[in-house]
């Protein structure tokens, strides 16, 4: 589908000649995220430079009834930023400035296209810290992080993106500019629309600016990697450490995943012996007492028979290398075009859930290699199914979707989430019913109708219109 030449002309009047792209290379670059299942087919790519330009584009899209797909850093893993049907792809890349900083409020207002790592660097320059962190912060944009309520590796201590959004400027689907919450800490004046936009995956409007809270930087972080005997023992180790000290991260990964990371990078193995699972524990070691406590907990875990071996970082570079074993996992596996499960249950139900999902995966995926990792301290598991090189992607996706439905049903039985932190997008909308009731999905449709009466905003993502 193409966008009519008079509409292209109007878009050029709004943003300037050079900022309206109609070539195939731009379509493939801007019309897709990190998923590999879909071939993008947008109608036009447009790069606005201000909230007012975004508003003018949304008004035009409403008048012409053309769908709009917001395009941030395109690091999403659920197809939320994929344009398949001649849409206007609205790219936020040019809107990447710091608008205001307030040291007393400990807040910074940035445009939505700011790269997450730049926000982290800006906070550091001010002696402060933006704690939402994950492997793709070098390309992901803050607007996309908010639209998907991104999680990552520090949620156990700092929570999800939602916790750090003090205010938003948005252009709603019907073209209104809304300034939501003005950076306030306390504001009980009725419904908080800011929270509707967080995690809405571009289905209600476009986030153009965000006011973000900052905090004190952590000090003297120490990283411990433990070799763990089996899945249930990871949860025992988690409970032991959670009860014994305040953690900034608790992650896990499997041996086969780690082997792939080691083969792909210069990072050394954590220790000589092998274990089927590894837990990565991070904490602030402000004094010898915390280090002694971490070692005492390690000894308890060994004595209980949960942990086989372990290493604690002695320097910043060793801590960074230990983190790479977990953080490089996603990038390393991308070569196998994995089918990604991003599921969660309450941490208390993890042992029972893990046993069931593990046997289901072994039964349903006998011919595929599975790599498990995730934010186990948050009850969040990433099960990656690797595509054999000789299997066409459509066939692979078809086979995975059969087992995915069963995994989603199992998640539903545990009152868990079929998408803990990656969002629903296109990939998981068929499974939404296992985490959200039919009434809830219908209410979501009605809320969309309020903010986006013509249904132009990222249609077909999260749920279908009817």
Binding site for ligand MLT (CB under 6 A): 134-135, 329-330, 340, 382
DSSP 74-116: ---SSSTT---SSPEEEE-TT---EEEEETTTTEEEEETT-BH
Q: Which residue is nearest to ligand MLT (CB)?
A: 330
Encoding tokens for residue 229? Answer: 């005997």
Residue 200 Cβ vs ligand MLT, minimum distance, rounded to whole Å: 19
Nearer Cβ to ligand MLT, position 324 or 340? 340
What residues contact 60, with CB distance under 8 A and at least 6 apart? 7, 10, 11, 14, 66
Buried b (16+ CB within 10 A) or exposed e, 368-386: bbbbbbbbbbbbbbbbbbb
Q: What is the number of H-type helices and E-type strands within the chain?
A: 15, 16
Nearer Cβ to ligand MLT, position 130 or 134? 134
* CA nearest to 215, candidates 114, 112, 99, 132: 132
Residue 36 Cβ vs ligand MLT, minimum distance, rounded to whole Å: 13
Residue 135 Cβ vs ligand MLT, minimum distance, rounded to whole Å: 5
What would you measure as the largest C-alpha separation in the chain, in angstroms?
74
Rounded to a whole number of angstroms, the CA Rg of the chain reads 23
Nearer Cβ to ligand MLT, position 78 or 109? 78
Residue 209 Cβ vs ligand MLT, minimum distance, rounded to whole Å: 26
Q: Please, are residues 200 and 186 in contact by the beta-carbon 8 Å criterion?
A: no
Nearer Cβ to ligand MLT, position 340 or 429? 340
Residue 235 Cβ vs ligand MLT, minimum distance, rounded to whole Å: 18
Nearer Cβ to ligand MLT, position 27 or 134? 134
Nearer Cβ to ligand MLT, position 128 or 376? 376
Residue 421 Cβ vs ligand MLT, minimum distance, rounded to whole Å: 6
SS3 189: coil
């Amino acid at each position: 589908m193409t966008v009519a030449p008079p509409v292209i002309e109007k878009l050029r009047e709004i943003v300037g000649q050079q900022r309206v792209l109609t070539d195939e290379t731009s379509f493939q670059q801007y019309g897709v995220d990190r998923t590999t299942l879909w071939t993008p087919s947008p109608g036009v790519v447009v790069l606005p430079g201000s909230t007012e330009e975004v508003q003018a584009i949304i008004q035009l899209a409403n008048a012409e009834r053309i769908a709009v797909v917001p395009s941030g850093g395109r690091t999403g893993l659920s197809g939320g930023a994929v344009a398949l049907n001649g849409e206007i792809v609205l790219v936020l890349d040019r809107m990447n400035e710091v608008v205001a900083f307030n040291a007393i409020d400990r807040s910074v207002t940035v445009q939505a296209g700011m790269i997450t790592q730049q926000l982290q660097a800006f906070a550091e320059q001010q002696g402060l810290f933006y704690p939402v962190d994950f492997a793709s912060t070098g390309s992901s944009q803050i607007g996309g992080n908010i639209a998907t309520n991104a999680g990552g590796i520090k949620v156990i201590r700092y929570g999800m993106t939602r916790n750090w959004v003090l205010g938003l400027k948005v252009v709603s689907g019907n073209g209104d500019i809304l300034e939501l919450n003005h950076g306030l800490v306390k504001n009980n004046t009725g419904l908080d629309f800011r929270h509707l936009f967080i995690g809405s995956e571009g289905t209600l409007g476009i986030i153009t600016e965000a006011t973000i809270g900052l905090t004190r930087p952590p000090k003297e972080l120490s990283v411990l990697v433990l070799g763990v005997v089996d899945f249930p023992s990871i949860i025992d180790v988690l409970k032991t450490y959670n009860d014994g000290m305040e953690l900034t991260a608790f992650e896990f990964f499997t041996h086969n995943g780690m082997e792939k990371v080691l083969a792909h990078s210069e990072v050394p193995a954590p220790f000589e012996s092998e274990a089927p699972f590894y837990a990565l524990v991070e904490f602030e070691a402000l004094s010898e007492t915390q280090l002694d406590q971490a070692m005492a907990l390690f000894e308890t875990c060994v004595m209980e028979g949960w942990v086989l071996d372990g290493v604690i970082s002695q320097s910043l570079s060793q801590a960074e290398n230990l983190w790479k074993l977990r953080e490089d996992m996603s990038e390393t596996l991308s070569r196998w075009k994995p089918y990604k499960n991003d599921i969660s249950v309450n941490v208390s139900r993890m042992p029972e859930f893990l046993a069931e999902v593990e046997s289901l995966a072994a039964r349903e995926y006998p011919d595929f290699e599975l790599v498990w990792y995730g934010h186990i301290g948050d009850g969040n598991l990433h099960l990656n199914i690797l595509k054999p090189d000789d299997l066409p992607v459509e066939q692979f996706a078809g086979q995975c979707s059969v087992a995915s439905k069963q995994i989603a049903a199992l998640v539903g039985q545990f009152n868990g989430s079929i998408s803990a932190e990656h969002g629903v997008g296109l990939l998981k909308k068929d499974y939404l019913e296992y985490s959200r009731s039919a009434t809830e999905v219908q209410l979501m449709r009605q809320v969309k109708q309020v903010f986006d009466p013509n249904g132009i905003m990222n249609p077909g993502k999260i749920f279908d219109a009817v």
